[in-house]
Chain A
Amino acid sequence: MLRPFFYVAPRTKAELLGILRDEGPGSRLLAGGTDVLAELRVAGKAPKQVVDIKKVEAFQGIRFDPGEGLSIGPRVTCADVLASPLVHREYPLLATAAAKLGSPQLRNRATPIGNICTASPCADMAAAFLALGAWTEIESARGVRRVEVKDFFVGVKQTVVEPDEVVTRVVVPAEMAGAAGDMEKLKRIRGHDLALASVALVKHGGKLHVAIGSCAPTPVVLPVLPVDAPVDEVKAEALKVIRPIDDVRASAEYRTFMVQVFIERLMARVEPQ
């Protein structure tokens, strides 16, 4: 049972931005709902209104612009990402990450943008976006701004997005098209689970990009390294950026260990194109 709230579903971006300008703080944005509704169910109180952004036509679609890169709208689900030949061809790591998220039912609803907006340290898509150097476009009635995904998270479940703002796109740069990458995710069972630790790794254009989930208050990314960096150096860099904790899912010690194992595996497995 959810506590009562109002439901609004603006049809246009302008309408949405107007609602957020006037009533942003009392509003909760709803995309796929897989995080939001699960959270509202156990929350002590409900927001005044839930604003469904899925009716905004402009938010649909996965598009590729040779200059800009791959643009994903807020309505796009993980299942859409998985079904996109474009993604599989040009940004296969995104498909890998989407496939690792949740169950089929969850992937049919969950959105990559929602995944980063929830800003859980274990967000599967976040690790992939970080490794691919993606950026977000954030809009409000005040205007548009662009924020790198690496600057997007500010704490556990906290982002730079203000109450009157909405993330309208996430963009993976064109330079990363064709990037070889893969991801490892530690779970408690083989079935759907949150990441206890995860590593996404990309080798592209002579560079090595590594992002790590569930090992700090936010998903984190290593400084860009040369593609032939020795494994030990990559692990050492990783140890500098992670700050894992002990919790019911795993110990900090095991997380630290597995991150290094994952780096070894991925370094050996991912072949630059």
Chain B
Amino acid sequence: MLENVPAAELSCVGRGVERIDTVEKLSGAAYYTGDLRFPGMLFAKVKRSPHAKARIARIDTHKARALPGVHAVLTGADLDVRVGLYLVDKYVLARDVVRHFGEAVAAVAAETPEIARKAVDLIEVDYEPMTPVLDPAKAIENGAPLVHPDLGSYDYVKEVFSPVGGTNIANLSKYRKGDVDKAFAEADLVVEREYTNPSVQHVPMETHVTVGQWQPGDKIQLWTSAQSPFTVRNLFCHAFKLSHNQVRVFIPYVGGGFGGKAGIHLEPLACSLSRAAGGRPVKIQATREEEFSLLPCRSGLVNRIKTALTKDGRILAQQMTMLWDAGAYADYAVNVTRASGYSAAGPYEIPAARIDAYTVYTNKPFGTAYRGFGHVEFSWGTERHMTVLARAIGMDPLEFRKRNALRPGSITLTGEVIREHTGNVTRCMETVAKAIGYGEELTPEWQQRELETGRRIGKSVVALHKAPAMPPFTGTAVVLRMNEDGTVIANLSLTEIGAGTYTSLAQIIAEALKFPIERIKVPVENDTDRDPYDWQTVASKGLMLCGNAAILAARDLLGKAYDMAAQVLRANHCDLDHDADRIFVRHNPECQVPFRALAVGYAYPNGNGIGGPLVGVGRYIAQGLTNLDKETGQGLPALYWTYGAHGLVVEVDPVTGEYDVLKVASAFDVGKAINPSAVRGQIIGGMIQGLGTAMCEGYIYDANGKLLNPNFTDNKIPTSLDMPAEIEAFVVETPQVDGPFGARGVGEHSMIAICGALGNAIQDACGADLTKMPIRAEDVWRALETAGPLLESSATIRNRAACNTRER
């Protein structure tokens, strides 16, 4: 939509205008959920399981209930309520069994946090520990202990998912393209390897927090740090069998989400406690430790890739088995499995493919959506694999990628045809390659540096793609209301979790109305009773869907204003035009009426009125997408593809494995950068978050499934000192035909494939062949000593040995 407007004609779109939500965030005035206090508000604390799997033999809450100041104590026995996004598998509080370390078994609401804590301490729970299943490969073996023995009877979204009752498989998504067996038989070379990722925590700086109030008469109000107010409302009503009219969800400022707040989490518990406490509001805020195991994480992945290729560097076929370690509940993991399955080839054309993507239940904290939605995880394997393949045939890894890259006419795994306007991944790769001097001699400074430090410098280029993972019929609406003074308020239910989308939407609205941006207000807080529906704030789809709805709402509002103006000015609708302040007759511009005079209806001098308050409504729904065939995965899942590439330069100590990232250059085909400064912020912020996954993050368990590092002491995230010494961010702009002003989303993409970039650059520097996330110095050190596991191709092993001693 409006994708061909020349830049010179744009006054607001395409400019790095300042964000509309920063002043209050900078001055401490922005209220986040945790800042709210209400009269009579109680504080909740949760009793959590120390076991990964156990039968709850007895819970005694008598002492807790007797403690003065305690208003409500709940256990699983009090709440026969299951919640689930795609597969309804989770009780609000564990009933009979606990399925992961840290799971909530009881909760207390009391007048102070101290009393609540003490009451929780007084709750006695007798557990009968059972043997947990922790390894996803073991969990899908026949006879493995079942995490959910009743899986076969659970409710789920039947059009999309395929749980297998009587097993630990919460979903199996299959993708089939071409004749895989034939391709493997004809290949010059077959390489099969396995790559793994642990679970990773999102680490929003604001932990999950909710204030819930369940008033008498079943009127419910929720203030919550969540990404998707309507999904919270919908799932809440579904679980408690309430009308949508009974539940109101407010979203104050949100201190980061990254997918961890996409679904429904603490809300049912806070409200249940409030109901038990006679309707007093109840606040529950996760501690940082609880954030790691009471709340969800990102699923782990074991990714086995087998590829057939020719000596001259063409991929013929690929077989992938992805075991997604979902933990104890399915949440978003089943859809992560589905979405990463159809993207799993990366931005490359694979003529024949067979992909089986399993969502596997284990007795660990459960996985949910996380920025990149599976792509960060699988791209670690696929991008490492691409380089391994290239090295196996002695081809430059960038050349190999370009040879196999998607281009107009390519067919994706699900049968979609790539077009000219889909985007240009090759351009992204070339841009970052140039920026890091890929394939060139090291600069004299870097050569000098190698000599002085004894460290080795390595480079890599990786590519990526991702489409929004969402139902094919995902829709949204934007309502524009003109105020008496001609300013405009935009109501919508995408949330502003930090990505800056609201500013971009304000720019789109300003551009579509031809108003200055100062006249557009997009209220940062959301309210399901005030704002129109949006599905969720996920998937990098918000800018496109809401942007289009905003343009349509602007047109609707202008149309109504023109209708009134035509009457007032006694002119034809088609002869009217407008500027920022007024509507006028084109051939007689003095004949005009200001927007202010139309805003709430036009009044003639004698008091007669016409029209009415100006409201514009825009609705937009994804067009032409389909569910995927359950046996073959064929169909159209992608609203659009955003392509990208990273170039990375690393310096490695070839003795100790210590390394530093010297430079990262990233490029994304965003269609149109609505706000270049915000795009740059997404590119750099996501890249560093991705480096966190690559360098240091990840859950570590003991043999019994106890999480050993649920804190910042032992789950490090990147600090300012962990930034690459040099960072460059680029965009390619191949307009998206159905995107607002040609734009497509880029909120998640910068995190994707950076892990592979680091692993490949380290291999380039010192030969270390890495297959596991994260890459700590110790892992490089070990990889220096022992060759990585090459499973099938002896040619690869020979070649790799040759590659190890790099010539310069």
The residues in B between 750 and 804 inclusive whose CB is less than 8 angstroms from any CB of A are 776-778, 781-782
A254 x B778 contact (CB < 8 A): yes
Which residues of the partner chain B approach A254 to less than 8 Å between Cβ atoms? 778, 781-782
Which residues of the partner chain B approach A188 to less than 8 Å between Cβ atoms? 696, 716, 776-777
The residues in B between 105 and 142 inclusive whose CB is less than 8 angstroms from any CB of A are 113-114, 117-118, 121
The residues in B between 704 and 755 inclusive whose CB is less than 8 angstroms from any CB of A are 708-709, 713-714, 716, 718-722
A258 x B656 contact (CB < 8 A): yes
Identify which of B121, B660, B714, B722 contacts A191 (C-beta below 8 A): B722
Closest to B658 in A: A186
The residues in B between 636 and 685 inclusive whose CB is less than 8 angstroms from any CB of A are 655-656, 660
Stretch at the interface among A80-88, A217-225, A243-251: A243-251
Least Cβ–Cβ distance between B333 and chain A, in angstroms: 24
Contact flag A193-B114 (CB < 8 Å), given A188-B696, A251-B778, A258-B656: no
A7 at interface (Cβ–Cβ under 8 A)? Answer: no
A42 x B289 contact (CB < 8 A): yes
Task: Give A44 to B778 CA distance when docked, in angstroms.
Answer: 34
Least Cβ–Cβ distance between A230 and chain B, in angstroms: 19
B462 at interface (Cβ–Cβ under 8 A)? Answer: no
B429 at interface (Cβ–Cβ under 8 A)? Answer: no
B113 x A191 contact (CB < 8 A): no
For chain B, give the interface size range. 20 to 34
Closest to B702 in A: A248
Which residues of the partner chain A approach B696 to less than 8 Å between Cβ atoms? 188-189
B655 x A261 contact (CB < 8 A): yes
Least Cβ–Cβ distance between B67 and chain A, in angstroms: 14
Task: Give A257 to B657 CA distance when docked, in angstroms.
Answer: 11
B2 at interface (Cβ–Cβ under 8 A)? Answer: no
Contact with A along B319-361 (1 / 0, CB 8 A): 0000000000000000000000000000000000000000000
Least Cβ–Cβ distance between A96 and chain B, in angstroms: 17
Least Cβ–Cβ distance between B236 and chain A, in angstroms: 27
Task: Give A257 to B112 CA distance when docked, in angstroms.
Answer: 50
Task: Give A191 to B717 CA distance when docked, in angstroms.
Answer: 9
Identify which of A4, A42, A261 contacts B656 (C-beta below 8 A): A261
A192 at interface (Cβ–Cβ under 8 A)? Answer: yes
A194 at interface (Cβ–Cβ under 8 A)? Answer: yes
A207 at interface (Cβ–Cβ under 8 A)? Answer: no
B695 at interface (Cβ–Cβ under 8 A)? Answer: yes
B720 x A3 contact (CB < 8 A): no
Contact flag A257-B781 (CB < 8 Å), given A189-B722, A191-B718: yes
A4 x B114 contact (CB < 8 A): yes
Task: Give A3 to B120 CA distance when docked, in angstroms.
Answer: 13
Contact with B along A222-252 (1 / 0, CB 8 A): 0000000000000000000000000011110
Identify which of B113, B656, B709 contacts A1 (C-beta below 8 A): B113
A189 x B716 contact (CB < 8 A): yes
Contact flag A189-B718 (CB < 8 Å), given A248-B700, A250-B778, A261-B655: yes
A142 at interface (Cβ–Cβ under 8 A)? Answer: no
Contact flag A191-B708 (CB < 8 Å), given A251-B778, A258-B656: no
Which residues of the partner chain B approach A258 to less than 8 Å between Cβ atoms? 656
Which residues of the partner chain B approach A251 to less than 8 Å between Cβ atoms? 778
The residue in B117, B777, B778 that gathers the most chain A C-beta atoms within 10 A of its C-beta is B778
Contact with B along A42-75 (1 / 0, CB 8 A): 1010000000000000000000000000000000
Task: Give A254 to B782 CA distance when docked, in angstroms.
Answer: 9
Which residues of the partner chain A approach B714 to less than 8 Å between Cβ atoms? 248-249
Which residues of the partner chain A approach B660 to less than 8 Å between Cβ atoms? 190
Least Cβ–Cβ distance between A180 and chain B, in angstroms: 22
Closest to B719 in A: A191
The residues in A between 1 and 16 inclusive whose CB is less than 8 angstroms from any CB of B are 1, 3-4
Least Cβ–Cβ distance between B70 and chain A, in angstroms: 16
Identify which of B114, B656, B713 contacts A3 (C-beta below 8 A): B114
Contact flag A189-B695 (CB < 8 Å), given A1-B113, A194-B713, A254-B778: yes
Which residues of the partner chain A approach B782 to less than 8 Å between Cβ atoms? 254
Task: Give A83 to B716 CA distance when docked, in angstroms.
Answer: 29
Contact flag A191-B720 (CB < 8 Å), given A3-B114, A250-B778, A254-B778: yes
Task: Give A194 to B357 CA distance when docked, in angstroms.
Answer: 39
Which residues of the partner chain B approach A190 to less than 8 Å between Cβ atoms? 660, 719, 721-722
Which residues of the partner chain B approach A192 to less than 8 Å between Cβ atoms? 719
Least Cβ–Cβ distance between B715 and chain A, in angstroms: 9
Closest to B113 in A: A1
Which residues of the partner chain A approach B289 to less than 8 Å between Cβ atoms? 42
Which residues of the partner chain A approach B709 to less than 8 Å between Cβ atoms? 248
The residues in B between 193 and 226 inclusive whose CB is less than 8 angstroms from any CB of A are none
Least Cβ–Cβ distance between A273 and chain B, in angstroms: 25
A248 x B708 contact (CB < 8 A): yes
Closest to A250 in B: B778
Which residues of the partner chain A approach B716 to less than 8 Å between Cβ atoms? 188-189, 191, 193
Which residues of the partner chain A approach B117 to less than 8 Å between Cβ atoms? 1, 3
A189 x B719 contact (CB < 8 A): yes
Task: Give A261 to B782 CA distance when docked, in angstroms.
Answer: 15
Which residues of the partner chain B approach A42 to less than 8 Å between Cβ atoms? 289
Which residues of the partner chain B approach A44 to less than 8 Å between Cβ atoms? 121
Closest to A192 in B: B719
Task: Give A258 to B718 CA distance when docked, in angstroms.
Answer: 22
Closest to B701 in A: A248
Which residues of the partner chain A approach B113 to less than 8 Å between Cβ atoms? 1
Least Cβ–Cβ distance between B775 and chain A, in angstroms: 11
Task: Give A189 to B721 CA distance when docked, in angstroms.
Answer: 8
The residues in A between 145 and 200 inclusive whose CB is less than 8 angstroms from any CB of B are 186, 188-194
Closest to B700 in A: A248
Closest to B774 in A: A188
Task: Give A227 to B187 CA distance when docked, in angstroms.
Answer: 63
The residues in A between 33 and 48 inclusive whose CB is less than 8 angstroms from any CB of B are 42, 44
The residue in A4, A186, A254 that gathers the most chain B C-beta atoms within 10 A of its C-beta is A254
Task: Give A190 to B655 CA distance when docked, in angstroms.
Answer: 18
Task: Give A194 to B117 CA distance when docked, in angstroms.
Answer: 29
A191 x B778 contact (CB < 8 A): no
Closest to B285 in A: A1
Which residues does A use to contact B, with CB under 8 Å? 1, 3-4, 42, 44, 186, 188-194, 248-251, 254, 257-258, 261
A–B complex contacts, Cβ < 8 Å, 29 sampled:
A1-B113, A3-B114, A3-B117, A42-B289, A44-B121, A188-B777, A189-B696, A189-B716, A189-B718, A189-B719, A189-B721, A190-B719, A190-B721, A190-B722, A191-B718, A191-B719, A191-B720, A191-B722, A194-B713, A248-B700, A248-B708, A249-B714, A250-B778, A251-B778, A254-B778, A257-B656, A257-B781, A258-B656, A261-B655
Instruction: Beyond A44-B121, A186-B777, list 8 extra A-B contacts (CB 8 Å).
Output: A4-B114, A188-B777, A189-B695, A191-B719, A248-B708, A250-B778, A254-B778, A261-B656
* Closest 6 pairs between A and B when the two form their complex, measured CB to CB: A191-B719, A190-B721, A254-B778, A191-B721, A1-B113, A248-B700
Which residues does B use to contact A, with CB under 8 Å? 113-114, 117-118, 121, 289, 655-656, 660, 695-696, 700, 708-709, 713-714, 716, 718-722, 776-778, 781-782
